[in-house]
Amino acid sequence: MSDKKAYAVLGLFETPDALMHAIPKLRAAKLGTVEAYTPYPIHGIDEALGLRRSPLGGMVLVMGVLGALTAFGFQYWISAIDYPIITGGKSAASWEAFIPIMFEVTVLFATFTAGLGMLLLLNRLPFFGHPVLSAKAMKGITRDRYALALEAESEAFDSAAAAQALEAAGAVDIEVLPAPDRSPFLTSDYILRTLGGIFVACLVAGLGIFSLIKWFPLLAPMKYMQDQPRLNAQKASTFFKDGHGMQPPVPGTVARGYLPTATGTQDASANLVNPLPRTKDVFAQGRKVYTNRCEVCHGALANGAGSLTAAYGAKPANLQAQQFRDYPDGKIYWAVVNGKNAMPAHAAYLTEPQRWAVVHYVRALQRAQNATDEDLKVVAP
Amino acid sequence: MRTDASVHAVPIPEGLLEPALTVGKVTPGSLDDQVLAFPETKPPKQWYLALAVTLTALGIGLACIGYTFTTGIGAWGNSSPVFWAFDIINFVFWVGIGHAGTLISAILFLFRKRWRNAIARFAEAMTIFAVMCAVIFPLIHVGRPWLAYWLFPYPNERALWTNFRSPLLWDVFAVNTYFSVSLMFWYLGLIPDIASMRDRTTSKLRKTIYTVLALGWRGAASHWQHYEKAYLLLAGLATGLVLSVHSVVSFDFATSVVPGWHMTIFPPYFVAGAIFAGFSMVVIVLVVVRETMQLKNLITMRHLDVMNKVILAMSCIMGYSYMMEGFTAWYSMNEYLHHGFMNIITGTYGWAGWITISCNIFIPQLLWFKKCRSSYFWMILVAIGVTIGMWFERFVIIVISLHQDYLPSAWRIYKPTMVDFGILLGTFGLFFTLVLIFARVLPVIATTEVKAILPDAQPSHGGSHE
């Protein structure tokens, strides 16, 4: 048993009481360091084993304070010095708003110190090579058995005496843990194989990424409005043959609301029929158009005495003359659309319904100036 | 608390002794066989069925998110003046659900409520899953989630910094800290349990995975000493978080000047509501877990009874808060506040206001009766009611306050679209998918913690650490 170097001797106990009774006896024997392995924390075992108080509380306090100071300094520097923004009329250096983030960062620093400090610094985990992990007793230790280990402190460790002491203290099962193999593993063969493995892994990963990027070009997750197909200024269009981005309308194109105007001669338009009914709305619209467009020349009564006639010496038609009263609707319409003599064309200003509405209104004016007794008869409303 | 009557001159009367935490004979070994063996058994058909349902819901949610990304945020019902609608409602709702886990694992740990040990693991897992569901919403609400890292203050080529006076930035820090701390707490608790699973499994693949995850934990007394200290410190730190995270979430509202948001009662009111909703969700899941995983001896009716009492207490706090909202509206003599409060009870969305009040205040009063606290039917009814009620509470706070504020010409009725509902459904799918997977691959009960409080688990002398 003692011919091979032992790391420790492990003794199993059935109950926490047996474990606790054995600890003082083994510590008194001074055969090696006494360590306990248990499935859950046992109350009072720290004192029994003589463990020093965990320094974790102090570490967490220091790091927590550091977190608060870091958060304060960071926020103060950004908000008051590097990038001051006035919010709500407060001074850029008003610190009250920094408190929530100071609190959160304090907790964050403290938490990582408590968790990682415990694991990495104090417990030296992760560590997968500890001899106890490969003990047969490990199955029991993480289940419902309580183990005490006498760990070798020096070359003089006597595993047989340790086993005897454990048995005397009430251990039911004794196991000698061999010392871990400490022969160097950094042989040239090992290094070559490791480097070769890294090289192959890099090669495979590089080729994989290369082909991925080659076959699947980067796809934008969302189209921005600026990315739509369009022709930039000073660039020739590849779509239209003449290279212009803007094209004139196709001959014969008609805009909405501007149907073909009366073309040809005035006489040719004589047969056109006014498509609008004679309703109050139509007369109202006709009157509005007449007031805006016709009245300055032709006068409010359509007698050719508009306010501009004196100023310009023009002689607009007296629409009350017999010649015009005999005109069919189509000829008046033609004159509105194309203009006549000094009168300009109104096609550009008036939509098709407006042109016909003003024709109706002119007819109404003519009739109003030449009313007969018949006209005074009240028609049924 | 010492329950050992022998050290007292007068024996403690039977009624004052803490009742047993488990039913029947439970030993450390039998506990392992019951809890740790579960992940190694083959899942039953019902589990696959449940997973199919939750994955379908998750798929619908992902499809709706994809539709949103390709179409634009116009796919949602959000429109002026209700810019914060389903996303912020669901965010607040899910963050709130998470609070139960932290409360159980941290505050009840500090109070030495030993019954918490059996349910802490599950509640902590639910915290993490709920926060994962919650962060989806602000991420997709920013419109371009691939630029969400702009939320963090980092030196950038635009020479811009974040505004540290904005509660929305506080929220970024609060939620990220909350998630990190919860994850750390949960994982530290899992390490000894994973070590137990590592040492009992026969499957090679599982052994490898558990070995890595257990970080070589070997149960040394010197390790336990630091571990317990770390756990205690984390509990203390997380306790601050339970109170702070939802307070910060409430600042998003309370620091604005919108009538119905600008109130000092918001932080405590939000925290109570979060614990309220979280405990209800835990009750729903615990009942299912207890029945389907044969854990009746560990998660006892007493656990559910205590949980229901907490829900009842929180319901009373919520009732007080609602009354205070009304009182503030009246006492402030502010016509905008008054209008906002009347909107809750008589406005277009009055039905939502009354769902909130009924589900959160009236229905939980059933829990005054022991019969309701010990009957699955009634406790599930209350818990589902509270879940619905708390969702509607956030709807009331956000939509009712926003849809009519100071400018009547800007008032508008908000209507969610199917995409909004689809994403909400998707997060429920995500949450329960994660719960189902967790229940199959990791120990749902913190066996190490339960072992430590079993009868005869601690030495009978000198151990007065309780």
pLDDT at residue A2, rounded to an integer? 44
pLDDT at residue A183, rounded to an integer? 73
Tell me if A303 is assigned to some domain: yes
**A231 conformational bin, left if phi > 0, alpha if psi -120 to 50, beta if neither:** beta
Lowest mean pLDDT among A337-341, B44-48, B226-230, B401-405: A337-341
Beta bridge partners of B79: B82
Number of compact structural domains in chain A? 2
What is the CB neighbour count within 10 angstroms for residue B55? Answer: 15
pLDDT at residue B5, rounded to an integer? 44
- CATH number assigned to the domain comprising residue A295: 1.10.760.10
Number of compact structural domains in chain B? 1
Q: Which of A178, A206, A236 is the last residue of a domain?
A: A178
pLDDT at residue A261, rounded to an integer? 66
Interface test with B, best of A59, A79, A104 (most B CBs within 10 A): A104
Instruction: Report CA-CA distances (Å) from B36 to A366, B261, B432.
Output: 106, 48, 21
* Burial class for B41, CB neighbours closer than 10 Å (0-12, 13-18, 19+): exposed
The residue type of A295 is E
Whether the CB-CB separation of A107 and B177 falls below 8 Å is answered with yes
Q: Which of B429, B447, B367 is nearest to B50 (CA)?
A: B429
Q: Which of A163, A178, A193 is the last residue of a domain?
A: A178
- The token pair at A97 is 């708003």
Average pLDDT, chain A: 88
Tell me if A88 is assigned to some domain: yes
**B20 band by pLDDT with thresholds 50, 70 and 90:** confident
B364 secondary structure, DSSP code = G
The residue type of A147 is A
B12, pLDDT greater than 70: no
The residue type of A93 is A
pLDDT at residue A222, rounded to an integer? 61
pLDDT at residue A257, rounded to an integer? 67
B257's CB contacts (< 8 A; 6+ apart) are none
Across the interface, which of A60, A127, A142 has its CB nearest the CB of B219?
A142
A79, pLDDT greater than 80: yes
What is the CB neighbour count within 10 angstroms for residue B191? Answer: 20
Report d(CA B393, CA B140) in Å as an integer: 22
State what percent of residues in chain B have pLDDT above 90.
73
pLDDT at residue A350, rounded to an integer? 87
- Contacts across the A-B interface (CB distance below 8 Å): 213
Report d(CA A257, CA B453) in Å as an integer: 89
Q: Which residues of B touch A219 (CB under 8 A)?
A: none
Q: Which one has a higher pLDDT value, A250 or B96?
A: B96
Kindly report, residue by residue over B217-262, the tens digit of the pLDDT.
999 999 999 999 999 999 999 999 888 999 999 999 999 999 889 9
Test B192 with A142 for CB contact under 8 angstroms.
yes
Report d(CA B1, CA B19) in Å as an integer: 12
pLDDT at residue A381, rounded to an integer? 59
Domain of residue A125, residue span: 6-178
Average pLDDT, chain B: 90
Tell me if B84 is assigned to some domain: yes
Q: Which of A162, A178, A194 is the last residue of a domain?
A: A178
Tell me if B46 is assigned to some domain: no
Q: Which of B217, B251, B296, B259 is nearest to B24 (CA)?
A: B296
Test A119 with B225 for CB contact under 8 angstroms.
no
pTM strictly above 0.80: no
Whether the CB-CB separation of A88 and B165 falls below 8 Å is answered with yes
Test A222 with B226 for CB contact under 8 angstroms.
no
Q: Which residues of B touch A17 (CB under 8 A)?
A: 459-461
The minimum CA-CA distance between B184 and chain A, rounded to whole Å, is: 7
Test B244 with A100 for CB contact under 8 angstroms.
yes
Tell me if A231 is assigned to some domain: no
Residues A126 and A11 in one domain: yes
Tell me if A118 is assigned to some domain: yes
Beta bridge partners of A147: A12, A37
Beta bridge partners of B220: A37
Q: Which residues of A touch B251 (CB under 8 A)?
A: 100
Token pair 């994403």 is found at B423
Q: Which one has a higher pLDDT value, A259 or B57?
A: B57
Tell me if A244 is assigned to some domain: no
**CA-nearest residue of chain B to A140?**
B199
Residues A24 and A171 in one domain: yes
The mean per-residue pLDDT over the stretch A190-214 comes to 92
Across the interface, which of B184, B211, B459 has its CB nearest the CB of A43?
B459
Question: DSSP string of B249-274?
Answer: HHHHHHTS--TTT--TTHHHHHHHHH
Across the interface, which of B184, B223, B452 has its CB nearest the CB of A111?
B184
Q: Which residues of B touch A98 (CB under 8 A)?
A: 164
Instruction: Give me the helices (H) in B293-334, please.
Output: 301-331
Lowest mean pLDDT among A120-134, A262-276, A322-336: A262-276
Q: Which one has a higher pLDDT value, A338 or B311?
A: B311
The angle, 0 to 180 degrees and rounded to 10, between the axes of the packed helices B45-71 and B116-141 is: 20
Tell me if A220 is assigned to some domain: no
Report d(CA B420, CA A169) in Å as an integer: 69
Test B449 with A40 for CB contact under 8 angstroms.
yes
Test A114 with B233 for CB contact under 8 angstroms.
yes
- The token pair at B123 is 């509640």
**CA-nearest residue of chain B to A42?**
B458
Residues A149 and A42 in one domain: yes
- The token pair at A246 is 């803007």
CA angle centred on B439, ends B21 and B373, rounded to 5°: 45
pLDDT at residue B182, rounded to an integer? 94
The minimum CA-CA distance between B37 and chain A, rounded to whole Å, is: 12
Alpha carbons within 13 A on the beta-carbon side of B425: 18
pLDDT at residue B218, rounded to an integer? 94
The minimum CA-CA distance between A94 and chain B, rounded to whole Å, is: 9
Question: DSSP string of A19-59?
Answer: HHHHHHHHHHHTSSEEEEE-SS--TTHHHHHTPPPPTHHHH
Residues A24 and A169 in one domain: yes
B4, pLDDT greater than 60: no
Tell me if B315 is assigned to some domain: yes
Tell me if A380 is assigned to some domain: no
State what percent of residues in chain B have pLDDT above 70.
95
**A373 band by pLDDT with thresholds 50, 70 and 90:** confident
The residue type of B102 is T
Test A39 with B241 for CB contact under 8 angstroms.
no
pLDDT at residue B391, rounded to an integer? 96
The mean per-residue pLDDT over the stretch B144-170 comes to 90
A253's CB contacts (< 8 A; 6+ apart) are none
Listed in order, strand segments (DSSP E) in A152-257 are: 173-178
Across the interface, which of B169, B224, B234 has its CB nearest the CB of A114?
B234
Lowest mean pLDDT among A251-260, A277-286, B248-257, B406-415: A251-260
Q: Which of A153-157, A194-198, A313-317, B40-44 ranks highest by mean pLDDT?
A: A194-198
Domain of residue B336, residue span: 60-154+250-451
Rg (CA), chain B: 24
Kindly report, residue by residue over A168-186, the tens digit of the pLDDT.
999 999 999 988 877 777 7
Q: Which residues of A touch B219 (CB under 8 A)?
A: 37-39, 141-142
Terminal CA-CA length for chain B: 6
